[in-house]
Structure 1
């Protein structure tokens, strides 16, 4: 194990995380003020660029997948996983348990501060709340994952380059040394944003599960309960990670997805069935109808701050998740075609979110409109967790639904952290081949670290907004790295298959792409 692990990278990354956590602990108020200023400036300076990048990414992937390049196969082997397990693993890694949290209440944030210049608290604000919810978790979000996954798939399985990390593909494209200063800086940023992004997810999810379980058990929520929950989650994903992808993550993701489907079916049957179906259908139509405007809405006249606080933040947040989710998707997509990876990432991932958010969100909207739970008012009073519990309590057999809710939240967290630990171990294992996995003990090390940092954050009461900004700051350099690897991938693809007829692409993939002299981006 010691010969395979990049100890310097691990040491520097952990030291950086400790310094940031220490700063949050020693200067919490000052950190929060600085974070707020930085967040405002980042969304102001880079907002339009982020929106354009994401929208153009959707168009690019649609074009490539439907062109002859969609026939490119990532490896000559048969796919390792069934379609259901493959899609389940994508969704389970790409969506944390925060998904469950936002499915219940995100729409309510859009009522008093709606986008697209809509009047607050109006009928239109209610009608467009769920479509915006779907939009923020739909095709554009999954595009950002695919924009990392596809180039890495090509790097590993078509070009046969070694290294399952961002620095490895940047090295293959540009010729810089992976072990040099720039390569190591890229990997340090990657590991840091993994901690930042997952600390946000755990920071939101663990206290919520604590509150829901405490309600079921009739006890008071406590920090001890937070520790117990994180320990349970840690044991589950550590065991899954140690076993490996084939027996661990794939089965855990499969089970989690099935539980989520059971929750959706249960809510659909026990809740306001007709309203859920009608509102989900209507919301899907409004989201599709307004997709372009929502994608490029900057509000330069009204200056409501909506796109900066929501859409631009979300895209930057997805970008912080994109490296480790993209690397994970690439790892489990061996044997698939480029077209199938794009379709299943964008369409299957989005469809799963539309179903989940449509059913759960519509239930909550119904309860608010009927006056059973004042969701909007409770959010305004900072009682978001209580609002979710109150909605669940309106269902028959509410205790069973709450236990199912907690189980799904814990398992979603476990699968996301499992995927993150795998990619972090892969990054710190130089020259990893496409058919290799990091050492189990190495993955276990990152599992432990991913549990300790968020637990520390919760213990010191670090502001989630501050953690959020810390992660978003690193989203900007990742954005530029994504642009670099996308350009490199496109150049590779055109060079390798530009002159190959559509019906011959499969044959060329089977025989292997001819090795060519590496072209540096600086020569473009």
Structure 2
């Protein structure tokens, strides 16, 4: 297997977390604080740049370029394609944070607001939109587009290093192996973060429905069980396993959302969506570049920087997977499908779940905020319990997280297998099993080292070096897109000249 260094590093962290979780938690926390303090601005600028770049490509003359030959058709239908990219992109995170994040902001209050006020509630929803909307999907979209462009238009292999080949700088070309290694490390830890959160959320669901104890041992057991499921799914192949699981999960997520929308405060949810969308659009630039140089606060680092690092660490995994299922689509269709549509779905999700939870907390006295403070994984189930058919919805939500867990793990080991076999689109079952065990080991060691805090810390630390790689991929993509567009224009011009010559004869 290639990429011995990243695999070795992953094994070291896994063993460290299992045998000395306290020291791993302490050292990683120190590293996270240093990174957020000194490099938080880098995350903000890079992600904003990717947002602007994706918008430019979608609405420019380059949007008609196809990811493949001119007569290539997409392999998957639009619903199946959307379901796969959405499930792989942020399924577990939406369920985990859909209630927990708005309530956390409401009770803590971002700097400049007073906790538990209407202003805090509005800002809580606005930052939830911000953290889960256009910015993360633009990160995924540009990374995936770069991979797909070089793979399908330049007949390259599905590797991160392939996406930097149009850069003229020789030192960059010599670092291609390092780029692939950083992508593997970022992917492994980013996915492990989501799987750890998924295990915590499933544990919360089991506690709400069956009164199972909430502790690390139960969560490790859940990781082992779910890992066996997603490894089994992965060896069945992407077209079978991920496609069907993703489609089923999208239907289940839509059903749960519809139930909460109908049984909850429907008018409040619509008002929340309308008001938050307006404030999100009007405050987009200010939120995108918000740092706090004159205030003693770690809020930006704990929330925005963590999220941007999480999305960047997920981007090689999600990017390679989206590229794998997006052959035959135009750049414009690709960006609209991977940025606009998922962002709208995330806005609806947070309006339904976050809006309902805030309404219950403020107007009905349901102690959702207290539940979130005690255990973030219980926030959703505390809200569902206050609604009609709450027990049924809690069961559905638990199953939803479990299937998202399987689809994320399934997609992740496929991508890690591709990256560790030189871009092979169908890595062997042995390699998939190996990666499944490794990422399950990371999730387990991080949970033992400090739960949610350790998961967030690992994401921020290991995403930093890959942030530079993503910026290089965007520059390389821009150069390649311009070259291919000019070439197509030259060919079209020659064809027109030949037609004129034939007509004149």
Distance 1:111 1:462, change over 3 A: closer
Q: Is the 8 A contact 1:47 1:312 kept in 2?
A: yes
Distance 1:385 1:465, change over 3 A: closer
Q: Is the 8 A contact 2:384 2:390 kept in 1?
A: yes
Distance 1:499 1:449, change over 3 A: closer
Match of 1:442 among 414, 431, 441: 431
* Cα deviation code 1:118-154 (max 9, x no counterpart): 3333221111211110110000111111121111111
Match of 1:169 among 163, 170, 182: 163
For the residues of structure 1 that align with 2:441 and 2:301, how far apart are their CA atoms? 31
> CA shift at 1:181, angstroms?
7.9
Q: Is the 8 A contact 2:106 2:121 kept in 1?
A: yes
Q: CA RMSD in A?
A: 2.6
For the residues of structure 2 that align with 1:286 and 1:116, how far apart are their CA atoms? 17
Counterpart in 1 of 2:399?
407
Counterpart in 2 of 1:68?
61
- Pair 1:117 & 2:130 matched: no
Counterpart in 1 of 2:7?
14
232-241 vs 133-142, which moves further: 232-241
Distance 1:394 1:146, change over 3 A: same
> CA shift at 1:91, angstroms?
0.5
* Cα deviation code 1:105-129 (max 9, x no counterpart): 1012212443462333322111121
Stretches of structure 2 that go unaligned for 5 or more consecutive residues are 497-505
19-28 vs 329-338, which moves further: 19-28
Counterpart in 2 of 1:515?
none
Match of 1:134 among 129, 133, 143: 129
- Pair 1:325 & 2:318 matched: yes
Distance 1:220 1:32, change over 3 A: closer
SS in 1 for 2:175: helix
- Pair 1:426 & 2:414 matched: no
Q: Is the 8 A contact 2:81 2:325 kept in 1?
A: yes
> CA shift at 1:500, angstroms?
4.5
Counterpart in 2 of 1:516?
none
> CA shift at 1:215, angstroms?
2.9
* Cα deviation code 1:405-441 (max 9, x no counterpart): 0011011111111111111011011253xxx432344
SS in 1 for 2:199: helix
Q: Is the 8 A contact 2:187 2:313 kept in 1?
A: yes
Counterpart in 2 of 1:489?
477
Counterpart in 1 of 2:499?
none
For the residues of structure 1 that align with 2:253 and 2:205, how far apart are their CA atoms? 17
Distance 1:466 1:232, change over 3 A: closer
What is the number of residues matched between the two proteins? 493
Counterpart in 1 of 2:500?
none
For the residues of structure 2 that align with 1:199 and 1:69, how far apart are their CA atoms? 36
Counterpart in 2 of 1:157?
152
For the residues of structure 2 that align with 1:453 and 1:37, how far apart are their CA atoms? 19
Query: Equivalences for 1:272-283 in 2 at 5 Å?
Result: 272-283=265-276
Counterpart in 2 of 1:143?
138
For the residues of structure 1 that align with 2:449 and 2:464, how far apart are their CA atoms? 26
Distance 1:177 1:243, change over 3 A: farther
Match of 2:457 among 464, 469, 486: 469
Stretches of structure 1 that go unaligned for 5 or more consecutive residues are 1-6, 509-524
Counterpart in 1 of 2:243?
250
Distance 1:457 1:39, change over 3 A: closer
- Pair 1:391 & 2:383 matched: yes
Distance 1:271 1:389, change over 3 A: same
Query: Equivalences for 1:335-414 in 2 at 5 Å?
Result: 335-380=328-373, 382-414=374-406
SS in 2 for 1:97: helix
TM-score of the aligned structures, taking structure 1 as reference length: 0.87
For the residues of structure 1 that align with 2:22 and 2:222, how far apart are their CA atoms? 28
Distance 1:504 1:132, change over 3 A: farther
- Pair 1:33 & 2:26 matched: yes
* Cα deviation code 1:359-417 (max 9, x no counterpart): 0111111110124322333434x233333322111111111101100011011111111
Q: Is the 8 A contact 1:116 1:297 kept in 2?
A: no
Q: Is the 8 A contact 2:103 2:354 kept in 1?
A: no
Q: Is the 8 A contact 1:43 1:308 kept in 2?
A: yes
* Cα deviation code 1:207-228 (max 9, x no counterpart): 3312322332244446664355
SS in 2 for 1:117: coil
Query: Equivalences for 1:308-319 in 2 at 5 Å?
Result: 308-319=301-312
For the residues of structure 2 that align with 1:232 and 1:463, how far apart are their CA atoms? 19
Counterpart in 2 of 1:520?
none
* Cα deviation code 1:326-379 (max 9, x no counterpart): 111111110000111111111111111111111011111111012432233343
Query: Equivalences for 1:69-88 in 2 at 5 Å?
Result: 69-76=62-69, 77-88=72-83
* Cα deviation code 1:178-201 (max 9, x no counterpart): 9x9833333332222223222222
- Pair 1:98 & 2:103 matched: no
After TM superposition, which residue ranges in structure 1, 4 or more long, deviate above 6 angstroms? 175-178
For the residues of structure 1 that align with 2:308 and 2:428, how far apart are their CA atoms? 33
For the residues of structure 2 that align with 1:174 and 1:293, how far apart are their CA atoms? 35
> CA shift at 1:24, angstroms?
3.2
